[in-house]
């Protein structure tokens, strides 16, 4: 988990550096990168850092409590491991390891439609239900089959991604041959040579971590041999014609909690409430879709002012620390999701490293609560902001 000096990772940046050394270039860039010039990707983190907390003294900090209630479930801290496409490629059967770490931390894990591990694999980890994230496919029969499998695997909270009508232009993926356009150089970068340069990953994941397809849709994808083939299939099957009418249909089909992921506009937020969503995630897809849009830290308080009393608000994009969790609560969210942090930590050292990262986040949140005077996560409001 440490570098050549055996230093223990203490922050997201430390886990990220370790992941960069271990992962093949194409995979690290796929996880780490954003759309276009990555302006929004940088804004996401910078704008959370710009949210200033107050420092208040002589408050009784002996009984700090990071726990919150979310959709009828008690979370040990207001955090959810976000759905990440190909997240399971960061370590051997990565989503299973992530689910175990989330269980130990007392928080939910959300499996992606295009995750490596199946709903059944993740569901077998424990009795604690996972969340599941859905992309709308053109074949609604397949969608209903997947939803049935999710329900039978214990899923009761469905996260539906609504900001992928078209795929963002991701320069890093193009350069590495993940998105086409570079011919043999791209294929070489994401092929055997890259594996040879990262032998630990090649052995642990490449050779021992299979199968490497998107487990939840593998039965529908014919003649595909690797994640890039699956990415091509999903690119042709994602339904770009989805509108609010389809959300109404989904609301009728899905019996559990329905959370819409990708809201970045107050009018869209009001429409999400109107169609009966139980919650929404203020999100710009981690800066991976439309570059140049506002950060989630900027939009969260505006959306909270518009619909915060009518729904359950969550947020993702740029959350890196326990202080960021307090900032998110102060600006109107009930909890936050992290994507890159859990995948980077898992890549750095598997389940143990991810558990360490989550422990650091909790300790950092306790520090922020204790020194801002909030003490209890349920009591955090804008009063803790400068």
User: Between the CA of residue 82 and those of 112, 171, 225, 228, what are the distances in Å?
Assistant: 8, 23, 26, 21
Distance CA 64, CA 77 (A): 11
Question: Is the CB of residue 245 less than 8 Å from the CB of residue 260?
Answer: no
Query: How many other C-beta atoms lie within 10 A of the C-beta of residue 137?
Result: 17
Structure tokens at 15: 């886990």
| Runs of H (alpha helix) within the chain | 12-22, 25-32, 39-50, 94-105, 119-123, 140-152, 171-175, 183-189, 192-196, 199-201, 227-237, 244-253, 266-274, 296-307, 322-330, 340-372
Q: Residue 239 burial by CB count (10 A; 0-12/13-18/19+): exposed, middle or buried?
A: middle
Question: Is the CB of residue 319 less than 8 Å from the CB of residue 325?
Answer: yes
The residue count for the chain: 386
Q: In the beta sheet, which residues pair with residue 68? A: 75
- Regarding beta strands 157-161 and 335-338, do their DSSP bridges make them parallel or antiparallel, or are they unpaired? unpaired
Structure tokens at 126: 């424990």
Query: How many other C-beta atoms lie within 10 A of the C-beta of residue 287?
Result: 29
DSSP secondary structure letter of residue 22: H
Distance CA 89, CA 95 (A): 9
Question: Is the CB of residue 295 less than 8 Å from the CB of residue 328?
Answer: no
Residue 350 gets the label, from left (phi > 0), alpha (psi -120 to 50) or beta, of left
Catalytic residues: 285
Cis preceding linkage at 211, omega within 30: yes
Q: Which of 3, 101, 62 is nearest to 341 (CA)?
A: 101
């Amino acid at each position: 988990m440490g570098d050549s000096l055996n230093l223990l990772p203490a922050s997201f940046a430390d886990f990220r550096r370790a992941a960069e050394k271990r992962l093949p270039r194409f995979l690290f860039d796929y996880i780490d990168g954003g759309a276009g010039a990555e302006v929004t990707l940088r804004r996401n983190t910078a704008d959370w850092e710009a949210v200033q907390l107050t420092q208040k003294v002589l408050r009784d900090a002996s009984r700090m409590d990071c726990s919150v209630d979310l959709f009828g479930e008690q979370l040990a801290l207001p955090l959810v491991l976000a759905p990440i496409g190909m997240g399971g490629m960061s370590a051997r059967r990565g989503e299973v390891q992530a689910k175990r770490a989330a269980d130990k931390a007392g928080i939910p894990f959300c499996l992606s439609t295009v995750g490596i591990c199946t709903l059944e694999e993740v569901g077998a980890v424990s009795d604690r239900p996972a969340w599941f994230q859905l992309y709308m496919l053109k074949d609604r029969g397949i969608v209903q089959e997947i939803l049935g499998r999710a329900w039978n695997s214990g899923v009761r909270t469905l996260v539906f991604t609504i900001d992928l009508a078209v795929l963002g232009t991701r320069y890093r993926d193009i350069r590495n041959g993940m998105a086409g356009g570079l011919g043999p150089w791209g294929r070489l970068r994401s092929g055997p040579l890259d594996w040879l340069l990262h032998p630990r990953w090649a052995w642990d994941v490449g050779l021992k971590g299979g199968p490497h397809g998107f487990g939840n849709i593998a039965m529908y994808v014919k003649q595909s041999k690797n994640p890039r083939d699956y990415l091509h299939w999903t690119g042709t099957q994602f339904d770009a014609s989805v509108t609010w009418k389809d959300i109404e249909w989904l609301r009728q089909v899905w019996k559990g909690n329905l959370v819409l992921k990708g809201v970045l506009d107050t009018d869209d937020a009001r429409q999400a409430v109107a169609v009966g969503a139980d919650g929404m995630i203020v999100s710009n897809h981690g800066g991976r879709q439309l570059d140049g849009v506002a950060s989630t830290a900027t939009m969260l308080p505006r959306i909270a002012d518009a619909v915060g009393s009518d729904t359950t608000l969550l947020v993702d994009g740029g959350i890196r620390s326990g202080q960021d969790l307090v900032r998110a609560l102060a600006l109107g969210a009930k909890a936050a999701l992290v994507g890159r942090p859990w995948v980077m930590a898992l890549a750095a050292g598997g389940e143990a490293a991810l558990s360490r990262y989550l422990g650091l986040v909790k300790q950092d949140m306790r520090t922020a609560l204790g020194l801002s005077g909030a003490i209890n996560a349920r009591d955090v409001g804008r009063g803790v902001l400068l």
